[in-house]
Amino acid sequence: MATDVDTSPADARVRLERTVRVLERRGYAVAPARLGELCIGGVLTERQVREAVAADTELSLRDGLVVSPHLARDSSRIARRAAGHADNAARCLPTTLGFVRTLVRLCPFVLSVAIAGSLASGGYLAADDVDLNLIVEDGKRHLAYVAINLLGMAHALRHRGKPVDTHTQRPLAPRFMTANLILERSQCFPLVREDEDMAYEFLASRPVHGVALWREIVTTNRGLCEHFPQLEERRYPDALRERSVLPRWLFPAVLDGPARALGSAGWRYMQWTRRRRPEALARVAFVRRTMRPYALFDES
């Protein structure tokens, strides 16, 4: 991946501060080398990052991570998560790819799937769930939501021994495979949002199905690449070549209405079960804010 070796130290500091703010809005931080790879405006070398941090009054290096004062106290906790990521992710990735294969085989209206959240960006713990970003046929967002949740519940029953936390604990089986973002194809051309947070969502996620469509979205919505030129050089080593075994006519768009009612009822029930867990409710509220105007069942 090409690095921006000609940038000035002052420009590097500004870009790194912006990048750290994007990461910290999501609650995590990364090491200097990784921060250089993720930098707004293009890749910086680890040396450039370290020199910029050393000269910066806003950023500092704590527990091997680049942080601002906002997350400085959490650096040791974040570092512990990061230390276990490689082993935890290696165990979870085959299971995730198997679930995506099942989803694609049974849901012909699912056009693209990307792994998101901590499994894609780092810091994945065994108790975490797996966030998936989906692009689906027009008029079938709610159908996709219901499908991924039904398949996710069936899948979770086979993993009842999985560790859980306040976000993933459920009565019968753990919350495991979940929908983070569901977009209809027409919503992507163009995207309503091309800000740095949405651009980072594309940069940090890991496409595993429908890679050609993913690339088309990135190249068509030029604002994404203006924030992160790295997007144009992405490689997709985990791309699947699965095809649906069911015909599309089994899932007409008219089913999206009933699916919306069912999905909304299920979503409201899940929020009710979290009523005594303010941390879980706060996390849901944060994720939904970052996904607007694309969040399902958003009546605000």
Q: Where are the domains of the chain?
A: 9-70, 84-291
Task: Give the lowest-confidence range in 134-138, 257-261, 270-274.
Answer: 270-274
Looking at residue 2, its pLDDT comes to 57
Sheet order of strands, 130-136 included: 177-184, 130-136, 110-116, 206-209
pLDDT of residue 1: 61
For residue 299, the model assigns a pLDDT of: 60
Q: Given a cut of 90, is residue 101 above it in pLDDT?
A: yes
CA distances 214 to 73, 83, 111, 250, Å, are: 37, 30, 9, 25
What pLDDT was estimated at residue 275?
A: 82
Helices then strands (H, E): number in the chain?
11, 6
pLDDT confidence of residue 4: 64
What pLDDT, on a 0 to 100 scale, did the predictor assign at position 292? 86
Distance CA 164, CA 223 (A): 38
Percent of the chain at pLDDT above 70?
98
pLDDT band at 108 (very low <50, low <70, confident <90, very high): very high
pLDDT at 128 over 90: yes
Q: Under DSSP, is residue 63 helix (H, G, I), strand (E, B) or coil?
A: coil
Q: What is the mean pLDDT of the chain?
A: 92
Is the model's pLDDT at 91 over the cut of 80?
A: yes
pLDDT value, residue 269: 85
pLDDT, mean of residues 177-198: 96
Residue 111 and residue 248: Cα distance in Å, rounded?
12
In this prediction, residue 276 carries a pLDDT of 82
Give the confidence band of 208 by pLDDT, cuts at 50, 70, 90: very high
Q: How far apart are CA 300 and CA 287, in angstroms?
A: 14
Residue 36 has pLDDT above 60, yes or no: yes
Q: What pTM was computed for the model?
A: 0.93
Extract the tokens encoding 238. Answer: 């985990």
